[in-house]
Amino acid sequence: MRTFAFAVLCAASLLHAQDYQLGPDSQPQPGVPKGVVTKFQLPPGKYFPGTPHTYSIYVPAQYDAAKPAPFMIYMDGSGALGNGTRVPVVFDNLIAKHELPPMIGIFVDPGVLPTVSAAAQSRFERVFEYDSLSDRFSRFLLEELIPEVGRKYNLSKDPNDHGLSGTSTGAVAAFAAAWNRPDQFRRVLSFIGTYVAMKGADGLPALIRKTEPKPIRIFLQDGSKDHVVPGFPWGTFYAGSWPINNQVMYEAFQSAGYDAKLVIGEEGHNMKQGAAIMPDALRWLWRDYPNPITVREPAAMSDPGWDPRGKVYSVVSAAKPWEQVGDVYGAITSITADKQNNVYFADTSANRIYKVDSEGKVSLFQSNAAGPLRVAPNGRLYSAVKGQIVSFGPERKVEAANINAADLAITAKGDIYYTDTAHKTVGRVNGKVYPQAEMAMPAGIALSPDQAMLIVTDAQSRFAWSFQLAPDGTVMNGEPFYRLEMPESGWMSGVTAALEDSIGQLYFATPLGIQVCEANGRVAAILNAPNYGAVTAIAFAGPESNWLYASESGRLYRRPVKVTGVPAWTIAKLPKPPL
């Protein structure tokens, strides 16, 4: 149906082609104060070594150095500055009409690595810089370009004051920077966005649908003839269809509840329409300023027929975000809870175990014993440290020796299972050790609520494993059952912890956030990390086990959830998993 619709649209556009012209807001107007554009060069830095970047700064006539100024960054900056698009003129007019705040414009071009000889070809960086889902480009903006501009002008540090704009592959760069760092960028303009199968952008719609919404507002534009001809309406380029993929992106945003708008006109892969609608796009993007961009739950959640299965907001509420507990610590690698609603966490960098009481007060529980933690059914706190498994109650006891455990799981009967990353094994204290030839780095370990299955993460692979536990405790019938989303950069999954809720959903601590798998092994939802960083440990706690605790960047956080965990001292029967 979608192919047919685009074919009809293409045929109709041939009969009624629209001539996109720059309107009054893109023309210099008498009496309007004019900003100044100055060109600079950013020297090579860390993220694109040896590669300088040309950039220009637009400063409005209304700029007041005493007030932090909002700003927008335009990728392919020279094009945005040029006569075909005239962004500085648009800024002049909209700022004068108070439809934009007085803002700084930063127009940056992709880098070109200079040659070492006249006979050599330069390395053109545009695709490498722009067409990637990694955080490299956002780091370049935040750590190199913006600080350089900030040395010249008083830039606002409020993420609601930061906008990004890009064209074609530059649109991918603009959105990816906001997606990776919504704590820094909240407004995005995307013109003829290249969300096709080149370097991973075609996977964005699925991630947008699954991931807890981020505070981002986005305007998308494309043309019905973008890499499309009448006899080939599904797209002439090997990577896919620009109009269809922009539509799929928009549908994903709508599904997740984003503040998004899509305009599809009649042009091809050019900026004719984009330049013509630039004033309206900017008005839409900055409407209601200075009100902040916020996350909203989809309005359709209350409609009949809404399917709650696998939805982020079946697990959490937008109105109940993460809250920090305690101070900043070194490296929190494990979290667990006891029957009295106390929470314990290990700071392995300081070799300390901390206790959070039911009132949220944090105190030092034990020094020189930080490792993977679990509370056993007998109420004792277990930790693995220096080749031993020890427990704490009224006294400290050594429960096992010569075991280098990366994580622990303790059954209702008191059986202790562990992972040994160095030896690539899953083991049982006072029992057998099970080598895992197919696992690169066994890391986190957890029990299913019925304690019939053992879940083991692999910190290198994208797959987490499911093992069956025999009545005698034997670990058997392992499968790489859970397929997780991988970070864009590097080759490590970084999945360090797992836990399961009362309906059989699995929660994995990962660099992308907390990935939630249905019992069938599919990732259905991804909860955002509290800030920008990898989640290293997770646990359910609270009187009803309906608070989710997580650690990130040496901080402990918690938030209420709509699901419940099952402590090790309780065995619960699971419902049949969805197909």
Q: What is the pLDDT of residues 133-143, one digit of tens each?
A: 999 999 999 99
User: Is the pLDDT score of 55 beyond 90?
Assistant: yes
The pLDDT assigned to 299 comes to: 85
Alpha-carbon distance of 498 to 374, in angstroms, equals 13
* Sequence-separated (6 or more) residues with CB below 8 Å from residue 454: 409, 417, 426, 445, 446, 447, 448, 466, 467, 468, 469, 475
Q: Is the pLDDT of residue 322 over 80?
A: yes
Segments of 506-567 assigned E as strands: 506-510, 513-517, 523-527, 535-541, 547-552, 555-560
Residue 486's pLDDT is: 94
Residue in this structure with the two tokens 């994208």, named with its chain if needed: 462
Q: What is the pLDDT of residue 12?
A: 43
Percent of the chain with pLDDT over 70: 97
Interval 45-51 mean pLDDT: 98
Domains of the chain: residue spans and CATH: 2-285 (3.40.50.1820), 324-560 (2.120.10.30)
Task: Lowest mean pLDDT of 373-377, 421-425, 488-492, 563-567, name the range.
Answer: 488-492
Residue 5: per-residue pLDDT: 44
Per-residue pLDDT, averaged over 486-498, amounts to 93
Which H or E run includes 104? strand 104-108
Secondary structure of residue 501 in the 3-state scheme:
strand
β-strand pairing of 187-191 with 217-223: parallel
The band of 433, judged by pLDDT with boundaries at 50, 70 and 90, is: very high
pLDDT at 1: 39
CA distance 250 to 189: 13
* Res. 369 pLDDT band, cuts 50 70 90: very high
525 has pLDDT over 80: yes
Angle of helix 242-256 relative to helix 2-15, nearest 10 degrees, comes to: 120
Predicted confidence at residue 431, as pLDDT, reads: 92
* Mean per-residue pLDDT over the chain, rounded: 95
201, two tokens: 């952008």
Express each pLDDT in 181-213 by its tens digit. 999 999 999 999 999 999 999 999 999 999 999
Q: Stretch 369-382: mean pLDDT, rounded?
A: 97
**Residues 256-270, mean pLDDT to the nearest whole number:** 97
pLDDT bucket at 18, cuts 50 / 70 / 90: confident
Where residue 290 falls among pLDDT bands split at 50, 70, 90?
very high
Highest mean pLDDT among 263-267, 299-303, 487-491: 263-267
pLDDT of residue 239: 94
Quick count: other Cβ atoms within 10 Å of Cβ 396?
Answer: 12
Statement: residue 168 has pLDDT above 70 = yes
- Token look-up 């020279």 returns 78
pLDDT at 316: 97
Task: Give the other-Cβ count within 10 Å of 433's Cβ.
Answer: 13
pLDDT at 6: 43
- The confidence band for 16, taking pLDDT boundaries of 50, 70 and 90, is low
Q: How many CB atoms are located within 10 Å of the residue 223 CB?
A: 27
What percent of the chain has pLDDT above 90? 92
Residues 461-475 have a mean pLDDT of: 97
Structure confidence at residue 14 (pLDDT): 42
What pLDDT score was predicted for residue 8?
Answer: 40
Give the strand pairing for 381-385 and 373-375: antiparallel
Whether 115 has a pLDDT exceeding 90, the answer reads: yes
Lowest mean pLDDT among 9-23, 79-93, 472-486: 9-23
345-367 confidence digits (pLDDT tens): 999 999 999 999 989 999 999 99
